[in-house]
Each structure stands twice: as structure tokens, then as C-alpha cells.
């Protein structure tokens, strides 16, 4: 079993992921599943105070996001339909990260 440590910088934090496989090719394939870039700052307010978050909506939809802890904006991770283990940060049609403004839920 081979392993590779992958570091992603998201804002001021570094997140370390370990991928593994039976051989070099499998390790690199697992690394490719983390197909999102480092993100230096929030695309809305410019803060580097970012963190990873996860939530479940309606008891069935799982969401993972990169959230700005200052303005509460976020960009959601997407998954490929043919491989739900490959993740990426959602982008707009012009190729920029799809940062969304936080909206308070109606009660």
C-alpha cells in the first residue's frame, strides 16, 4: 500500500489529506480526485478567514463548502455524476469560483 500526503491551502489554513492505493498509479488517481485548487481568499469580501464546512439538507442531500467566516459567503464543492468521490469547487460560466452571498433562512 502506497500513501501520499496532499496539502491544500484554503485561506490562512492548511488542510492535509492522505490518499492511498495499491500502486503508484492508484495513488495518483486518488490524488486527482481532489481536483480543486488552493484558495487564498474569499471571492466576495477578500478575507483569508476561510474554513471547510459540511451539512445535510432535508436529511438526504450532503453539502461540503468552503465558507468565509467573516462575511459568511461560501462556495460549494461539486461531485462528478459518474464518480461521486471526485470533488471540485463550483465555478461560474466564466470560470471563476461560484461564491454565494449568505442569505438568512426565512422562519
Q: Which of the four pLDDT bands, split at 50, 70 and 90, describes residue 78?
A: confident
Averaged over 77-83, what is the pLDDT?
83
CB–CB of 7/16 below 8 Å?
yes
* pLDDT at site 106: 58
pLDDT the model gives residue 107: 59
According to the model, what pLDDT value does residue 46 have?
97
User: Alpha-carbon distance 34 to 43, whole Å?
Assistant: 20
Amino acid at each position: 500500500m502506497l500513501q501520499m500526503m496532499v496539502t491544500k491551502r484554503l485561506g490562512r489554513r492548511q488542510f492535509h489529506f492522505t490518499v492511498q492505493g495499491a500502486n503508484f498509479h492508484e495513488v495518483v488517481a486518488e490524488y486527482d480526485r481532489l481536483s480543486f485548487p488552493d484558495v487564498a481568499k474569499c471571492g466576495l469580501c477578500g478575507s483569508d478567514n476561510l474554513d471547510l464546512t459540511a451539512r445535510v439538507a432535508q436529511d438526504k442531500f450532503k453539502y461540503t463548502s468552503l465558507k468565509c467566516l467573516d462575511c459568511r459567503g461560501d462556495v460549494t464543492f461539486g461531485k462528478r455524476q459518474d464518480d461521486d468521490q471526485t470533488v471540485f469547487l463550483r465555478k461560474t460560466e466564466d470560470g471563476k469560483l461560484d461564491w454565494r452571498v449568505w442569505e438568512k433562512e426565512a422562519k
